[in-house]
Amino acid sequence: MAKNSDRPLKPATRLVVSGHDTTSYYGFVNPPVYHASTVLYPTAEDQVAHRARYQYGRRGTPTTEALEGALAAIEGPNCAAVCLVPSGLNAISTAILSVVSAGDHILVTDSIYRPTRVFCDGTLKRMGVETTYYDPLIGDGIAKLMKANTRAVFVEAPGSQSFEMQDIPAIAAVAHERKARVLMDNTWATPLYYQALDKGVDLSIQAGTKYIGGHSDIMFGTISANADAAPRLKETYHSLGLCAGPDDVFLALRGLRTMGVRLAQHHRNGLAVAQWLAARPEVARVMHPALESDPGYAIWKRDFTGASGLFSIALKPTSEQKVYAFMNALTLFGMGFSWGGFESLVILFDCSEYRTATRWAPGGPTLRFHIGLEDTGDLIADLERGFAAMAAA
């Protein structure tokens, strides 16, 4: 990695220069994609002593090391380990497994990504670990829910679908006092807009499928740990036999190089469309923490340095038929799960089906938007077309 003795490099520069020694590989800018399992040892003595720079494909290649190095540089100085895994959900389950044992208890925000809940209520419960869901707005009130066997507090900000902000430093202070780890799903902001490991988070997770990949063509996940959490994370990761495929690792590294400029554009485009939607008569509320009117704005402003392109709206009460007419009239918004690619998306969702610690009552149908890299004038014209179709339905 490039060094600068005078001052630490800014994130934009680290995204470009980290994770690869450009004097290696004959000077080519990018590391090659190693498709690899077996590593050959030159002599019997070397084989018996496991004496080699690389041991085995699953244990790392120059391609995976390049990406780990680049991610570590972006996570900042508190990052002691990065693990690359096949999906964001796997990053979540592996991080949780690295901090719990049978008989333990964990606290998970009610605003968590839904498949995380499925993992906690299924596999984790079967392993003898109990989960309590808490109100995302709880702050240091989390102290009331801590038990003697609470090993971890899982946070996600903003919340999945509903975008509540959490006071993570306040929660982390309580958790650490009680010797519990703090895990965060940091997919929305990425380390570029939220330096989780500097704000009390021990294990920071990203669905690399989203903004790291950035092109809707890979499944990938990352777990970054501070020095306290790194040894158990690495042990769990290796013992589960995890590794990410070489082509996805390559595409993740390629995506990472442009993540800064893409995110800046998602931020601008997302805010422009959110502001426009907030002024529409059909819209009851926009859930976007970087809007001054949002209840999470003060925390976002204090802790985050940017916003991505994902937010939700609640429509005023209307019929299902009218919502479908709105969605079906859109030509620039695809209807699909996932997000973080270059394209705009919309989905209809309903958190009331599964929240348990809080009541989800937005008052009308709720839509989640991902605002891509298109021209915002075109996107707004498309949404106008949708609202016209809604009125006519």
Ligand X SMILES: *Cc1c(COP(=O)(O)O)cnc(C)c1O
**Which amino acid is present at 369?**
F
Min dist CB 187 to ligand X, Å, is 4
Q: For ligand X, give the closer residue by CB, 20 or 210.
A: 210
Q: Which of 51, 58, 125, 147 is catalytic?
A: 58
CA distance 70 to 77: 12
Cβ-based nearer residue to ligand X, 19 or 221: 221
Smallest gap, in angstroms, from Cβ of residue 211 to ligand X? 10
d(CA 44, CA 365): 67
Q: Which of 104, 110, 167, 185 is catalytic?
A: 185
Task: For residue 27, give the DSSP letter.
Answer: G
**Does residue 154 contact residue 96 with C-beta atoms inside 8 Å?**
yes
The CA distance from 344 to 3, in Å, is: 38
Look up 113 and say whether it is catalytic: yes
For residue 83, give the 3-state DSSP assignment.
Answer: strand
Q: Which of 210, 262, 285, 322 is catalytic?
A: 210
Residues near ligand X, by CB under 6 A: 87-89, 113, 160, 185, 187, 207, 209-210, 219, 221, 338
Strand ranges across the sheet with 150-156: 81-85, 221-225, 203-207, 181-185, 150-156, 105-109, 130-134
Nearer residue to ligand X within complex by CB, 209 or 312? 209
Give me the catalytic one of 14, 113, 294, 322: 113
Q: Which is nearer to ligand X, 81 or 252 (CB)?
A: 252
Closest to 280 (Cα-Cα) out of 314, 309, 330: 314
Distances (CA, A) of 119 to 100, 129, 185, 238: 13, 11, 14, 20
Q: Which has the closest alpha carbon to 209: 312, 336, 388, 124?
A: 336
Residue 159: DSSP 8-state: P
Residue number, 97 or 174, with CB nearest to ligand X: 97
- The least distance separating ligand X from the CB of residue 87, rounded to whole angstroms, comes to 3
- Nearest approach, Cβ of residue 355 and ligand X (Å): 16
Shorter beta-carbon distance to ligand X: residue 150 or 206: 206
Give catalytic status of residue 58 as yes or no: yes
Nearest residue to 74 (alpha-carbon basis) of 253, 338, 290? 253
The three-state secondary structure class of 107 is strand
User: In this structure, are strands 181-185 and 150-156 parallel, antiparallel, or unpaired?
Assistant: parallel
Chain centroid to CA 389: how far? 34
Residue in the structure block whose two tokens are 């340095």: 305
Is the distance from CB of 284 to CB of 363 less than 8 angstroms? yes
Q: How far is the CB of 319 from ligand X (least distance, A)?
A: 29
Name the closest residue to ligand X (Cβ): 88
Active site residue 210: yes
Q: Which is nearer to ligand X, 87 or 131 (CB)?
A: 87
Catalytic site residues? 58, 113, 185, 210
